[in-house]
Structures are given as C-alpha cells and as structure tokens.
Amino acid sequence: MKNFKGIVYAALSSSTFGLAPLFSILLLSDGFSSFEVLSYRWGVASLTLGIIGLAGCRFCISRQELCTVFFLSLFRAATSLSLVIAYQNISSGVASIIHFMYPLAVALAMALFFSERISCQTAAAIGVSLAGVA
C-alpha cells in the first residue's frame, strides 16, 4: 500500500509539473514577467504545502538539512527562472525538451565519468525518455 501511495503521488507530481509550461506560457502571453510567473507558481506550491502541513504532515528537518535544502532550492529557482526565460526566447517545445532531458544527461554522465553501472530500470527510463522526445 505504501508503494502504491508513492506511485500515485509521483504520478500526480509529474503530471502537474508537466503542465507548468502550459500555464507559464499563458501567463507570459498575458504580459506577466518571469518573476511574476514564478511567484504565482511558488505561491500555489507554498499554499499546498501549508494545507498539507495543517492536515498533520510534519516537515521537520535538522539545521544541516536546512542548509542543504536552502542551497539546493537556489539551484531549483535558477532552473525554473531559466526555463521561463527560455519560453520567452525560443519555442516552448525545444525549451521543455532541453529541460526535461537533464535526468538522461545526468544518468549518462554518471555512467561515463563516474563508472556508475546503469541498471535495467535506468536503461528503461532512458529508453522511455528518448521515446517521449521522438
């Protein structure tokens, strides 16, 4: 049951994340700036997390984990901002393909440069991502 809930949450997360370009482009076409688009996106995410927290989910982390999360969130913010700016300058399809292919690039770089073994699951994921792009 725990695995099933995780799969459902992952599917929900990926589907809503995949719709982000649609809503970003709509807001950009209405004259919103990149920062306004991201403020709305992160505002909705913050409200959602707040509701989940009020429902009883605990988000406690240590100080060391807080530092890690903070610095990783800066990279995530830079990625989001770069993607929204890319939507303003190149076709949304090209920008999204470049953005969503980075897990493939990471998996291949880990295999090539760090001798990490590619598992059957990783190879399947690489195949699915390439099929999705094609």
pLDDT in tens, 88-104: 899 888 888 888 787 78
SS3 19: coil
pTM (2 d.p.): 0.70
Q: How far apart are CA 72 and CA 75, in angstroms?
A: 5
Give just the sign of the alpha carbon dihedral 34, 39, 44, 46.
positive
Q: In the predicted model, is pLDDT for residue 1 greater than 70?
A: no
| Secondary-structure percent of the chain, ordered helix, strand, coil, rounded to 5 | 85, 0, 15
pLDDT average, residue stretch 108-126: 87
Dist CA 11 CA 79 (whole Å): 21
